Chain A
Amino acid sequence: MATKSAKPLRLTALHLENWRNFTLVDVDLQQRVFLVGPNAAGKSNLLDACRFLHDLVAVGGGFKEAVVKRGGVSKLRSLAARRYPDIAIRVKIGSDENPAAWTYEVSFAQDNRQRAFIKRERVTKAGVTIISRPDDKDDADPERLTQTYLEQVNANLEFRAVSDFLKTIRYLHIVPQLIREPDRSVGKINDPYGGDFLEQIARTTEKTQKARLRRIGDALKVAVPQLADLALWRDEIKGTPHLRGKYDHWRPQGAWQTEEQFSDGTLRLIGLLWAILDGTGPLLLEEPELSLHPEVVRFLPQMFARIQSRTGRQILTSTHSTDLLRDDGIGFDEVILLRPSAEGTTVSTAYDRSEVKALLDSGLSMADVVIPLTRPAHAEQLSLFGG
């Protein structure tokens, strides 16, 4: 019998204070998470908190860079923040068996020259504090508080596992037009919008690349039955990589098309499937349902589940899709509801709210309960725009 492989670490809980449009968030995260809420409720902002942690440790990243990239502390701080204006992010990292193997916490504010500085940084391992800042050295030299220990190899030795884990977080929101016109994003590396997507595929070893494209090609046939083959080739003059697909039609040989001719849905699905196969860390997805047929969307949660039972990879995704939420296998604790209020958006799992729990227990589908709950208050007013 095969031995049980150790599942990778995942984010097991997220705590935010004054982060963008959230005053306070305290939520457990399962291996698969669906974020549901009206437009501008902060689904992307919640995912961005995870990206922020990734940016702390990314190549060319770091605390200062991560804050500046987001427009500075004043842009990051919740408008509803009042008495305790520090921005704080705390995550638990672990597994089902040991959900709090690690915790990492950082809080920060800005000085009177609008520079971000760290108010607090704390790491625990199995409940024991390893790092707690500000420490004596920080008191002696306040300049040190412009960098986290997390991002410094000299300082993070005892919790390198946390830093290595956060590096594996990946965010994806494929914009098909950027794949078709890579010139728009020249020089970007691991662009979440797909600008260097074809380069990413080309960078993998030939064996892996072929195996993955074959798997993706097989899966794609479900959504795009006329697609017979999928391959990568390089333009011999410019050296740029291109995807091409062979389409069956009345000519016996079929016809090859490149990514420029692929439909939006095909490109998004290729991007999604590639991202799922590429990497092991938490994958953050923005509305994977975009441009896809509802019958395809409906099977996304099942596909995620099957990938996860093999690899243990965490997938966090925002969605507006009734079809996606219709899946009976989605656990009540896997759905996170975002509801805007005057005091910032409130966040809870579907099961934490008694009115939601009552409806779900009565047998209504997740879609039937959650979509009406998170609908904008006056959606019908939009029709009046037409005059």
Chain B
Amino acid sequence: MKPMAPFPVVFSAAVEGPTDEVVLRRVVESRGAVLGPVFGKTGKSNLLNQLHRYNRAANLSPWIVLLDLDQDAGCAPSARAAWLTTLAPQMCFRIAVRAVESWLLADRESLAAFLSISGSLIPATPESLSNPKETLVNLARRSRRRTLREEMTPRPGSGRPIGPAYTSRLIEFAQTQWRPDVASHHSDSLRRFCSRITELIGNQA
């Protein structure tokens, strides 16, 4: 019998929002796996409410749940313990420190080119930032491109921390220019996330 071509492992996932989905897809694909259906995407509190259901599903097939730590706990391990006590065998439960934006910030060269800013403006240790989203918005403020500034930074009076097309621009960056492998050298939480995915893929073989 002809040996079958090895087909890639398909992960199901649940995330907070549309940007996380794209980031996750890039990370999973960089490990040679495929991202299948992605659930949630209606905010963190909804995701936390459903967490134990996703965990139950991870008894049967490989799953990834990705959450932002934000300001909810001092560090990822304590948040993890508070949110989900026992992990199903095929569950990869990851918390980005403090938000998935810090993973994007970790590829400084690409981000500087995308935002049209000098690379030296981008902090070298993204995981130490208390609010990476705010950092990104402030970096966009320095952009040499007017459209980027208008789209990513909030208009006075909008009452929002981000601009009207911040999400769309971030998705564009994550999809086209961000390099997960490079970023993982500068972000411990991303690096550990990548190795956990590789480990789960190994378990499937």
On A, residues with C-beta under 8 Å from B are: 1, 4, 30, 32, 298-299, 301-306, 308-310, 326-334, 351, 357, 360-361, 365
Of A1, A4, A298, A328, most B-chain CB atoms within 10 Å: A328
A141 → B minimal CB distance (Å): 46
The stretch among B75-83, B121-129, B157-165, B187-195 that forms the contact with chain A is: B157-165
Chain B interface residues (CB < 8 Å from chain A): 17-18, 42-43, 144, 146-147, 150-151, 154-155, 157-160, 162-168
Q: Is the CB–CB distance between B165 and A302 below 8 Å? A: yes
Q: Which 5 A-B pairs have the closest CB atoms?
A: A331-B158, A305-B164, A332-B159, A302-B168, A305-B165
Q: Which residues of the partner chain B approach A326 to less than 8 Å between Cβ atoms?
A: 42-43
Summarize A's interface: helix, strand, loop or mixed: helix
Please give, as numbers and ranges, the residues of chain A lying within 8 Å of B18 by CB-CB distance: 298-299
Q: A305-B165, A305-B168 are in contact. Are A351 and B147 (CB under 8 A)?
A: no
Instruction: Tell me the bound Cα distance from A304 to B146 in angstroms.
Output: 17
Q: Which residues of A contact B158 (CB under 8 A)?
A: 331-334
What are 27 A-B contacts defined by CB distance under 8 Å? A30-B155, A305-B163, A305-B165, A306-B151, A306-B165, A306-B168, A308-B164, A309-B146, A309-B147, A309-B150, A309-B164, A309-B165, A326-B42, A328-B17, A328-B167, A329-B162, A329-B165, A329-B167, A330-B164, A331-B157, A331-B158, A332-B158, A332-B159, A333-B157, A334-B158, A351-B159, A357-B159
Q: How far is the CA of A351 from the CA of B156 in the complex (A)?
A: 13
Out of A299, A331, A351, name the residue touching B164 (CB < 8 Å).
A331
Interfacial chain B residues near A365, Cβ < 8 Å: 43
Knowing A305-B151, A309-B147 are in contact, say whether A329-B164 is a contact too (CB < 8 A).
yes
Q: How far does the alpha carbon of A272 sit from the alpha carbon of B33 in the complex, in Å?
A: 36
Q: Kindly report which residue of chain B lies nearest to residue A5, judged by CB atoms.
A: B146
Residues of A within 8 A of B147 (CB): 306, 309-310
B160 touches A329 (CB 8 A): yes
